[in-house]
């Protein structure tokens, strides 16, 4: 099984790419809402994050579609991890949560 190490590295690379993409998104939202020019933050961040992820997928997968799928799986796993790490604490009840709980 010579394919196992490259496949594992593709999964790890996907997690790293996903963590950088979604971590960068979280950071951009926090900086962008307080900025005087939020559109510049959001569009610039989107272009940079997307370019990095697409280049990463390209270099990790090469001609192997299996590596691309594992990289994508790692990317999706990183989304769940970053979402879990950056969630607000359970004790705070924000206004949006209160409004959403009364929706029909």
Query: For the segment 7-25, what is each residue's pLDDT rounded down to a tens digit?
Result: 999 999 999 999 999 999 9
- The boundaries of the domain holding residue 49 are 36-83
Q: Which of 71, 63, 61, 66 is nearest to 16 (CA)?
A: 71
DSSP 8-state code for residue 104:
-
Looking at the structure of the chain, the number of domains it has is 1
| 52 domain residue, yes or no | yes
Q: Is the pLDDT of residue 89 over 80?
A: no
Query: Would you list the DSSP string of 62-94?
Result: TT-HHHHHHHHHHHHHHHHHHHHHTSPPTT---
| 102 domain residue, yes or no | no
pLDDT of residue 2: 77
| 93 domain residue, yes or no | no
| 7 domain residue, yes or no | no
Give the integer Cα–Cα distance in Å for 35 and 43. Answer: 13
Quote the percentage of the chain above a pLDDT of 90: 70
Mean pLDDT across the chain = 87
| 101 domain residue, yes or no | no
Q: What is the mean pLDDT of residues 66-80?
A: 95
Query: For the segment 37-60, what is each residue's pLDDT rounded down to a tens digit?
Result: 999 999 999 999 999 999 999 999
Which residue would you say has higher pLDDT here, 86 or 52?
52
pLDDT of residue 93: 53
Q: State the pTM of this model.
A: 0.79
| 99 domain residue, yes or no | no
């Amino acid at each position: 099984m010579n394919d196992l190490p490259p496949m594992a590295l593709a999964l790890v690379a996907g997690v790293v790419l996903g963590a950088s993409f979604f971590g960068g998104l979280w950071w951009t939202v926090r900086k962008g809402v307080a900025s005087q020019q939020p559109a510049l933050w959001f569009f610039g961040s989107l272009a940079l994050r997307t370019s990095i992820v697409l280049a990463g997928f390209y270099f990790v997968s090469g001609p192997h579609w299996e590596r691309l799928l594992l990289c994508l799986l790692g990317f999706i796993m990183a989304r769940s991890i970053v979402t879990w790490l950056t969630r607000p604490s359970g004790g705070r009840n924000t206004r949006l949560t209160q409004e959403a709980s009364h929706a029909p």
